[in-house]
Amino acid sequence: MSIDLQTLKCGECGSSSLRRTGLNEYTCSHCGSMSLVEDDVSDRLERVLQQVKHHAGQQIAAEQALRQKQMLRTIGFVVIGFVGVALAIQVAMLLFGSGKRNNAPTVARAIVDRTIPTDGLKLSEPRQVLVGERPKLLVLARNETGRPLERASLQVVFHDGDTRLNERSESLPIDVLMPGESAPVLVDLPSGKNVTRQDVTVEKLSEPRSAAEGPRLAFSRVRLVQQGERVRLAGRLVHAGAAGAPALGSIEALVTLYDDAGQVIGAGRGHATGSTLEPGGRTAVDFNIDRFGRGAAIAAWDYRIGYRTVTPSGSRTAVLSADRVIRTTGAPEVFHTDLRLSTEDLLADDSERFDLRQLELLPLVAGRSTIQRPLFMTELVNRSSDAVAITPGAVISRFNGSTADGSTRIDELAYLYPGERFPILLEPRAVDRITQTRVEWKPMRRAALPGPRKPLEVQVTGTKAGTGSVLLNFSQRFSYKSVEVTGTVKNPGTAIAAKVRLWVSLRDRNDQLTGFKMIDNLPAIAPGESVPFQVHVTQHGRDFASVGTLYQTE
């Protein structure tokens, strides 16, 4: 190999990438060729190579400095642009918001450092409880910081002896915990694990970012209801503010149950329906409450409501209310477990309620089923002359002497108009007869005539008596009587009648019920149109003499 001393390039490939690999020895990094040179030439060549490397390093450094300078200049332009936009927004807010400043509520601006020492949230001794069949850990947290706490939470580490099992974080069941207030916290225990101890610590505490003093919010009507093991709270809220007042949002309620010793035995949290509540409007809260401390009776309960004001732009401010916990001494209202109680039924005003004394259950009529087992029939009658019963419902408990034989639930009706008769079938289970019944009515609402139901015209066009038979266990055959009833249902109104149901009842010469059947497969009926029906009704009692009908629309 030879080296071109003028250009300092490899004589074989022309590369300038030369490196010294030994005494008077140079190797090309590109092609690997090696060359030997004389001592003076070698020294001179080494000096030249060092100068080339130094010049190349200076050139690279200059290029890097130039690139950094251009990058800093670009970043500077971007920062200046953002600052300009922010200043423009602030100026616009000052100009356009000055006219509304006098009407805006005074808001307590959060300070820069909103953190609060965690030792101000005092915790009770944790205890394991059962919520239904679910094991949980119960801790009571009390705010003794002297300041409102926003979204406070606890961290729990579970152990089995010296073994760390699991770690969970659980927030308090209320958005803002006011000074002096306590709140129960339920934490799920590790499933299938033996927990011998737990370490509970308070996570970082802080005040609300945006808050203002405001009035306490309370239910205008509230009911605590118990059906078996289920406990439920239903409450109505009314925004009593004048027109132009801020809307209310993020409305939540926390309920705590106590036994006669003052120990917490239940808690629940619910939210109001709808995202905001405008001035003059009303909304409802309806939710279940977790019970623990099985067997302990409820002797007292309390609730508190948290909420925020909402501006037209959508910003929300937490409302701080002193003494907002409202306590009630006494047990909940108890209803049969089979009753279906809607929020509207529970919270209706007294003027909206149907008088239950206007409902009558007719005397039982004995009959026989198709396999000749005893059964009983009755009818529910609306004796009011001017009020419609809305979603009437009841539970009829059956007895043979002092022996209870279960119950029958009534909940198929949407409306029962004055004079209408709704047929009911009672079939004994463990007894041969029913000697008495006990009726438990649900709270019902009323409507004035003409009422909300779409009117229909039902006409019976024909009846045909017949017989049938049924084979029981491939060994016994029973005969029974039936009646084929045909007719039409016409819609004389101006709106479509949908979800039409029709009850066809057979009555004997004494106007007592002897059989009935419901038709629930009728199609929607357009205005002015009619649809036919045909149904076979089993006759359980004496021979029929007349046919009655009852219809429902929704």
The pLDDT of residue 475 is: 84
What's the whole-number average pLDDT of the chain? 87
Higher pLDDT, 313 or 82: 313
The pLDDT of residue 6 is: 47
Residue owning tokens 């401390």? 293
Higher pLDDT, 1 or 455: 455
The pLDDT of residue 498 is: 93
- Compute φ and ψ for 508, nearest 5 degrees: -85, -170
Q: Which two tokens stand for residue 137?
A: 């850990």
* Cβ–Cβ under 8 Å, residues 238 and 221: no
Residue owning tokens 């239910």? 219
* Cβ–Cβ under 8 Å, residues 388 and 417: yes
Residue 413's pLDDT band, with cuts at 50, 70 and 90, is: very high
pLDDT over threshold 80, residue 515 = yes
Overall average pLDDT of the 112-118 stretch: 72
The pLDDT of residue 39 is: 47
Lowest-pLDDT choice from 147-156, 396-405, 466-475: 466-475
Overall average pLDDT of the 197-219 stretch: 94
In whole angstroms, give the CA distance from residue 82 to residue 64: 27
Overall average pLDDT of the 256-285 stretch: 94
pLDDT tens, position by position, 11-39: 667 677 777 776 567 677 777 666 655 54
Overall average pLDDT of the 361-367 stretch: 95
Percent of the chain with pLDDT over 90: 72
* Cβ–Cβ under 8 Å, residues 174 and 95: no
pLDDT over threshold 80, residue 189 = yes
pLDDT tens, position by position, 318-356: 999 989 999 999 999 999 999 999 999 999 999 999 999
Lowest-pLDDT choice from 102-111, 120-129, 149-158, 380-389: 102-111
Overall average pLDDT of the 372-381 stretch: 95
- Taking residue 351's Cβ as centre, other Cβ atoms within 10 Å add up to 6
The pLDDT of residue 100 is: 40
Residue 99's pLDDT band, with cuts at 50, 70 and 90, is: very low
pLDDT over threshold 60, residue 238 = yes
Overall average pLDDT of the 96-122 stretch: 56
| Domain pair 115-206 / 214-334, same fold | yes
* Cβ–Cβ under 8 Å, residues 513 and 423: yes
Overall average pLDDT of the 485-509 stretch: 96
The pLDDT of residue 132 is: 85
Task: Give the sheet arrangement for strand 394-400, strand by strand.
Answer: 403-410, 394-400, 436-441
Higher pLDDT, 111 or 72: 72
Which of 3.40.50.1110, 2.30.30.170, 2.60.40.10, 2.30.42.10 would CATH assign to domain 214-334? 2.60.40.10
The pLDDT of residue 18 is: 73
Q: Which two tokens stand for residue 383?
A: 């004796």
The pLDDT of residue 323 is: 92
- DSSP characters for 250-287? EEEEEEEEE-TTS-EEEEEEEE-SSSEE-TT-EEEEEE
The pLDDT of residue 68 is: 66
The pLDDT of residue 111 is: 40
Domain-wise residue ranges, the chain: 1-104, 115-206, 214-334, 354-552
Name the region of 372 (left: φ>0; alpha: ψ -120 to 50; beta: rest): left
Q: Where are the beta strands (DSSP E) in 102-246?
A: 108-109, 115-116, 121-123, 127-131, 134-143, 149-150, 153-160, 163-171, 176-177, 182-188, 197-202, 205-206, 210-213, 221-227, 230-238
The pLDDT of residue 93 is: 55
Q: Which CATH class is domain 115-206?
A: mainly beta
In whole angstroms, give the CA distance from residue 485 to residue 482: 10
pLDDT over threshold 70, residue 270 = yes
Residue owning tokens 């939540």? 252
The pLDDT of residue 103 is: 38
Residue 108's pLDDT band, with cuts at 50, 70 and 90, is: very low
Residue owning tokens 């439920």? 232
Which three-class secondary structure state does DSSP give residue 377?
strand
Q: Which two tokens stand for residue 371?
A: 């396999």
The pLDDT of residue 37 is: 56
Which three-class secondary structure state does DSSP give residue 352?
helix
Residue 471's pLDDT band, with cuts at 50, 70 and 90, is: confident
The pLDDT of residue 248 is: 96
pLDDT over threshold 70, residue 64 = no
pLDDT over threshold 70, residue 253 = yes
Higher pLDDT, 49 or 480: 480
